[in-house]
Amino acid sequence: EDQVTQSPEALRLQEGESSSLNCSYTVSGLRGLFWYRQDPGKGPEFLFTLYSAGEEKEKERLKATLTKKESFLHITAPKPEDSATYLCAVQDPMNRDDKIIFGKGTRLHILP
């Protein structure tokens, strides 16, 4: 059974303190791994899609990387406005209708 596990569940950082969020996954095959940002009470906002091990993508202070077992979302010199829950999801082509499976997220809080 496909599984997506995100760690830590919650993370508090000082402004400017870089860190990484982890998403480990167990799938039969990987069509894509997705990262989203979600603010309280709002819908998830798409950030990145990664397709194969070794791939990296960047957007402002965020960089996502992918290996065969896990993905990292690196946050460099974060600002308070980066505070949000970050969700990871995988799409397994062996699943019926290419179902997307979500992790439970990491709640990130950046202190000014």
Partner 1 sequence: EAQVTQNPRYLITVTGKKLTVTCSQNMNHEYMSWYRQDPGLGLRQIYYSMNVEVTDKGDVPEGYKVSRKEKRNFPLILESPSPNQTSLYFCASSSRTEQFFGPGTRLTVL
- Measuring CA to CA, which residue among 90, 86, 91, 83 is closest to residue 104? 86
Span interacting with partner 1, options 16-24, 33-41, 58-66, 76-84, rule CB under 8 A: 33-41
Contact flag: residue 34 with partner 1 (CB under 8 A): yes
**C-alpha span between 44 and 47 (Å, rounded):** 9
Closest CB to partner 1 among residues 22, 76: 22
Contact flag: residue 10 with partner 1 (CB under 8 A): no
Contact flag: residue 11 with partner 1 (CB under 8 A): no
Footprint on residues 46-85 left by partner 1 (CB under 8 A): 46, 49
Contact flag: residue 45 with partner 1 (CB under 8 A): yes
Q: 3-class DSSP state for residue 66?
A: strand
Member of 27, 75, 82, 105 binding partner 1 (CB under 8 A):
105
Interface with partner 1 (CB under 8 A), residue total 19
CB within 8 A of 87, min separation 6: which ones? 6, 35, 36, 37, 38, 44, 102, 103, 105
- How far CA 62 is from CA of 20, 45, 75, 87, 98, in Å, comes to 10, 14, 5, 13, 27
Q: Which spans of this chain sit near partner 1 (rule: CB under 8 A)?
A: 32, 34, 36, 41-46, 49, 87, 89, 97, 99-100, 102-105
